Amino acid sequence: MILCKRIPEGVVTFNTDLLSKKIKLLPLPKGLGYDPLPMQKTKSINEKADPNIGQNLLEQFKSGAFNPKLNTGEACVVRVRIQTKKLTPSEVAEEDRKKNTSQQKHKRDHSTISSISSMEASVLYDEHGEPFMELDQEDKALAITARPKELPYTAYVLHEYPQRVQRMDFVEQIVRQCFDFFDGHPERQQDIFRAAEREAKITEEQFIAETCSEYEMPKFDLPINAPDYDN
């Protein structure tokens, strides 16, 4: 939709006219392809395809003769993470104070929908019990090239922040459509969002466990603070 400049009105709140110029479509490198199904070549446009091709493929799949693994040339998984910082005890107390103030303000103004920033602005703890906090991304994210043209392979990219914003936007749409249910109960929106975050984390960790190993499809975590790249 961006390339065709046909974004429906009201879907986004910013100007998308310049976005199409920033999108570059690259052809697949030689030998790579997304479609694992065997293509049936025809001599003319009027020649009909084999009507039994679907049944034949099904039988091959059941017998194990057909391997549907995609040849996309992916050599690794790169997980772009939100950069974090460690907190001192005084910083933990200050962040807790800010969070309590924000919650009280939200309770007084029932029409306010919790923002992605308010959901993120909380103290977290690592496996050793040390407090840390994610850096505010200011609603910004970097576009990551998964297929560098200089390299003969691609990377499977998992981008943490854009995924989170997408989930948050989905929850906000639910709140707007079911306002009476959430009116006066901001904790309901937060509970749904946190549940979605937990499910996403479980799904991602399961994907990594099933896909990655030390020598085949290794995983790399890349902490990035998007506002640092404004210039």
pLDDT digit string (tens) for 28-52?
666 665 554 444 444 444 445 555 6
User: For residues 45 and 192, what is the distance between their CA atoms, to the nearest angstrom?
Assistant: 52
User: For residues 16 and 8, what is the distance between their CA atoms, to the nearest angstrom?
Assistant: 11
Closest CA to 140 of 162, 172, 108, 112: 162
Domain presence at residue 48 = no
Q: Which range among 31-45, 100-114, 147-161, 204-218 has the greatest average pLDDT?
A: 204-218
Q: What is the 3-state secondary structure (H, E, C) of 122-175?
A: CCEECCCCCEEEECCCCCCCCCCCCCCCCCCCEEEEEEHHHHHHHHHHHHHHHH
Helices (H) and strands (E) counted in the chain, each on its own, are 6, 6
pLDDT grade for 57, boundaries at 50, 70 and 90: low
Q: How many domains does the chain have?
A: 1
Please check the confidence at residue 105 and state whether its pLDDT lies above 50.
Answer: yes
**Structural domain range at position 83:** 73-229
Domain presence at residue 172 = yes
Domain presence at residue 60 = no
Stretch among 10-14, 108-112, 213-217 having the lowest mean pLDDT:
108-112
| Helix H or strand E encompassing 81 | strand 74-82
Domain presence at residue 56 = no
Domain presence at residue 209 = yes
Residue 41: the pLDDT is 43
Domain presence at residue 105 = yes
Domain presence at residue 221 = yes
- 121 with 97: CB under 8 angstroms? no
Please check the confidence at residue 202 and state whether its pLDDT lies above 90.
Answer: yes
